[in-house]
Structure 1
Amino acid sequence: MSAMELDTPSNYDGLAYSMVIAGHFHERDTYSTVRPEGMSDWLITYTLGGEGYFEADGCERRVKTGDVTLLKPGTPHRYGTPEGKNWHFVWAHFTGGFMDASLLPHEALTIRHIEQQALRDRVYHAFRRILSDSREQGAYWHELCLCALREVLMLLAKQETSEFDPRVEETLYLLAQRMQETIRVEDLARSVGLSPSRLAHLFKENTGESIVEAFNRMRIKQAALLLAHTNRNANEAAHDVGFHNYNHFTRQFRKYTGLTPSEFSQSVRSKEKPRPN
């Protein structure tokens, strides 16, 4: 790769209408890209390590691990690796016309930092799918790339609109992932970088519930969905969501729904429309 890449929108005009172009770079401080007329498509980058910089509207901004950057079409810019640094990142060019406008920022240069490790992992895996699908270009490759890009943009939007502390958000995500497991607050706290007492206090402050209460509510909600929309009986639903003591499951189910599992199932069946003969 050359030390300097000078591009104009014409480089992408033939591709932007139908292509997603992606890459995975690990660059030294000789790397710099300059586009004085901007691009005809969007550029999204995700920094995996090291440090990079972006210049737009006469302002330089640095990006580090966990930063997602979006450059709007038509924005004159320059980006690269700062002196004495290395920059490890993934990137993709895409056309905004194929994306929900509400997910795209209005600013010329947007940088969003992701704190949660679970969210970072989801964004990274989405980029991995973009990379593999755009290279393979098998059946539905373009649609698959766009779906992964939408996932990244929706995760960013979710983070921006969340009322919870990022560490509480990550705890909720971990609970949803580990529904069938025995949960220890100490393990959750270690995962989000807090002491158990600090996490318990922060979680209660944000959600109004203890971690155990939120976890049980999550389990009961899932069990109710299984009872309402599948052929699982109450014992099976209890086991599916991690309750190994049926009496405890019944108590929790009544606490959160006001009904026992059997009463709930009967209520669901009574509301079903009779099928025509």
Structure 2
Amino acid sequence: MKLDRASTFDKQASGVVIAGHFNESDSYETIRPNGMSDWLITFTLDGEGYFDLDGREQRVKAGDVTLLKPGTPHRYGTPKGENWHFVWAHFVDGHMDINLLPSEALTNREIEQQAVRNRIYDAFRRVISDSRERGAYWHELCLGALREVLMLLVKQQTSGLDSRIEDTLHLLAQRMQERVRIEELARSVGLSESRLSHLFKENTGESIVEALNRMRIKQAALLIAHMNRTAAEAAHLVGFQNYNHFTRQFRKYMSVTPSAYGKSFRVKE
């Protein structure tokens, strides 16, 4: 058991204080009766941990991101018979967007989407590396990675989408140039083809094919406007095999033909 009556970390007013990667048995426990002067954020990779605030216990498990507010008396550790594998970081809120931080003393968010879990873990790994190396711009790099984690939490909380639909949208964005098969998408997110199609429409208001075409057209428009690509080049780069189909879809989403869209930007230049 570790009793922290005051934080012993090297306080840095400019951002991240310290970060680490722990894998702890059920003998692990930390008690801070006076809380801390900074935020604690943890991401549980495997096993189970707990946070206890004045006798109210919150269990955390794989995929959970937990935020503990400064000044909150607490106790946390590994439950009996368990092992807690997690990454963590301390940071001060003076350099973090206030709208990204929760108002509750303890906040726990369950991350169901595997792609988001991977992204959060990657961000923590960067925080740990940069906070230890302390090379050029280490504060900014750490804060940027933590800000990414916090934005992902806010995005999940406000999107209102089923996690399987979030996964599907992520796969569509990744595979934009490929020939996308709905049965493969369904298998990837653990649903039947018909169930995925129905749930996707219910959550987004459009079909999977419509969502994919919208993504492709938006990307094509960017390529035409800012990369000086021809309409035919843009169509190929975003995955359209048929140029006439690309033109029809472009007009549907952009209200003009690809060639007219390209000319409007060349005129401005």
TM range (shorter): over 0.9
Q: 1:70 and 2:67 equivalent?
A: yes
C-alpha displacement at 1:54, in angstroms? 0.5
Q: C-alpha separation between the residues in 2 aligned to 1:10 and 1:148?
A: 23
1:9-59 deviation line (CA, Å, top 9, x unaligned): 3413x4242443111111111111111111111000000011001101320
Structure 1 residue 231, shift from structure 2 partner: 1.1
Of 73, 80, 83 in structure 2, the residue corresponding to residue 83 of structure 1 is 80
Q: Give the percent of matched residue pairs that are identical in Structure 1 and Structure 2.
A: 73
Q: 1:202 aligns with which of 196, 199, 202?
A: 199
Q: Output the amino acid matched with 2:246.
A: F
Q: 1:47 to 1:142 in 2, by over 3 A?
A: same
User: Quick check: 1:248 aligned with 2:245?
Assistant: yes
Partner of 1:264: 261
Tell me, yes or no, if the aligned pair for 1:227 and 1:234 is still in contact at 8 Å.
yes
Partner of 1:221: 218
Distance in 2 between residues matched to 1:170 and 1:227, nearest whole Å: 28
Shift of 1:126: 0.5
| Cα distance per residue 1:74-118 (max 9 Å; x no partner) | 111011111111111000011111111111111111101111111
Q: Distance in 2 between matches of 1:60 and 1:39?
A: 18
Matched, 1:47 2:44: yes
- What's 2:126 paired with? 129
| TM-score, length basis structure 1 | 0.93
- Where in structure 1 are there 5+ consecutive unaligned residues? none
Deviation at 1:136, TM superposition (A): 1.3
Give me the TM-score of the superposition, normalised by structure 2.
0.95
Alignment equivalent of 2:35, drawn from 35, 38, 52:
38
- CA–CA separation in structure 2 for the residues paired with 1:52 and 1:168: 29
Give me the CA root mean square deviation.
1.4
Q: 1:139 — aligned with what?
A: 136
Post-superposition Cα deviations, 1:180-217, rounded to whole Å, max 9, x if no partner, equal 11211122222222222111100001111110111001
Residue 11 of structure 2 aligns to a residue whose secondary structure is helix
SS in 2 for 1:139: coil
Deviates more, 1:260-269 or 1:151-160: 260-269
Aligned length: 268
The letter for the 2-side match of 1:17 is A
In the alignment, structure 2 segments of 5+ residues that lack a partner are none
Q: Map of 1:165-184 to 2, 5 A cutoff?
A: 165-184=162-181
* In structure 2, C-alpha distance between the alignment counterparts of 1:244 and 1:107, rounded to whole Å: 51
Rounded Cα–Cα distance in structure 2 between residues aligned with 1:207 and 1:217: 12
Report the equivalent of 2:97: 100
What are the Cα deviations for residues 146-185 of structure 1, in whole angstroms up to 9, with x where unaligned?
A: 0000000000000111132222122112211221112111
Counterpart mapping for 1:222-241 below 5 A? 222-241=219-238
